[in-house]
Amino acid sequence: MAVIACSFALLGCASTVDDNTAVLAKAGSPASQFDLLGWTISVPIDSDGNGKSDQIKEKALAAGYSDPEYFYLADDGGMVFKSPIKGAKTSKNTKYTRSELREMMRRGNTSYSTKGVGGNNWVFSTAPDADLENAGGVDGTLEATLAVNHVTTTGVSWQQGRVIIGQIHANNDEPIRLYYRKLPQHEKGSIYFAHEPNSKADEQWIDIIGNSLPNYWHQDATPAEPEDGIKLGEKFSYRINVTGHDLAVTVMRPGKADITKHVDMSESRYDVGGQYMYFKAGVYNQNKTGDAKDYVQATFYDLKVSH
């Protein structure tokens, strides 16, 4: 492999990968409680006027970057992500705003390119041998504990209440997008995910808790509120794991049985050469039609990645 695969999680000290990338986090920042040297963050602000959302690089993030509105450390020690409907976006082609981390396996070592099969990204173990040798890691697991604090309540009905809270992103597609969704008339929300293959095949949609898949014109009437759903402010955990062709997604809650769903990716064409992966976590607002100040927000209490 190009670099040693790593694991990074909740911390209360400096982030370190080697002497050249040691960073001491500012007190009271998210990085003072979480190891953020292995991430960048995109926030819905365009402070430099370049027409795109600001992206905070690894060392600046690990040194203590925060924003009092969109990314900060809560009084209870959680890491808060917030994203309104109207705000700066990551590109002109992106329809939605986000306050979202992007995995960076290079951990501040800018000799590695951010894109491509190399030290900054990982591959599935079904990739060709050359990619397995050059990638920063092989297969991977993302684990998070969080509470969704707020979802949108305005806009067209099929966009209300949707937020992506975790992803695996590939070159152009997403092997997984993990959603939380609560409708305005419900107290409890659902968890489901999409698997997008690296082909012309349709996306697969898999329910974990409840059923909140948008059916556009009839979203106000259906689906029914999930009896075993998750309320706003309720802590839960998720695990996204890839081993070869197997994509497994697990939702965990105190006092309840874990729920795991699998996708067989053997026909998804991620085993061809050049397909690189990285995790994402935070909030990716999935509403573009509601009131400008309507927003999504989640607080993360634990965040772990391993390869």
pLDDT digits (tens, 9 = 90+) for 238-258: 999 999 999 999 999 999 999
The per-residue pLDDT for range 3-25, each reduced to its tens digit, is 444 455 554 333 333 434 556 77
* pLDDT exceeds 70 at position 219: no
Report pLDDT for 215: 63
In 3D, which of 63, 283, 245 has the Cα closest to residue 166?
283
CA distance 119 to 106: 6
Cα–Cα distance for residue pair 136/116, rounded to 1 Å: 10
Cβ neighbors of 214 (< 8 A, separation 6 or more) are 158, 159, 162
**So what's the pLDDT on residue 19?**
36
Averaged pLDDT for residues 262-274: 98
Residues facing 84 on adjacent strands: 295
Burial of 22 (0-12, 13-18, 19+ CB in 10 A): middle
Query: Which fold, 70-103+116-306?
Result: Jelly Rolls (2.60.120)
For residues 103-112, average pLDDT = 98
Q: What is the pLDDT at residue 32?
A: 97
Query: What is the per-residue pLDDT across 131-150, written as a single tens digit (0 to 9) for each?
Result: 999 999 999 999 999 999 99
Mean of the per-residue pLDDT values of the chain = 92
Mean pLDDT on 221-249: 93
Residue 28 to residue 74: CA distance in whole angstroms: 9
| Three-class DSSP category at 286 | coil
pLDDT tens column, 180-193:
999 999 999 999 99
Q: Report the phi/psi class of residue 155: left, alpha or beta, with left for phi > 0 and alpha for psi in -120 to 50.
A: left
Please tell me the predicted confidence (pLDDT) of residue 8.
52
What phi and psi values does residue 21 have, to the nearest 5 degrees?
-125, 15
Q: What pLDDT, on the 0 to 100 scale, is given for residue 5?
A: 45
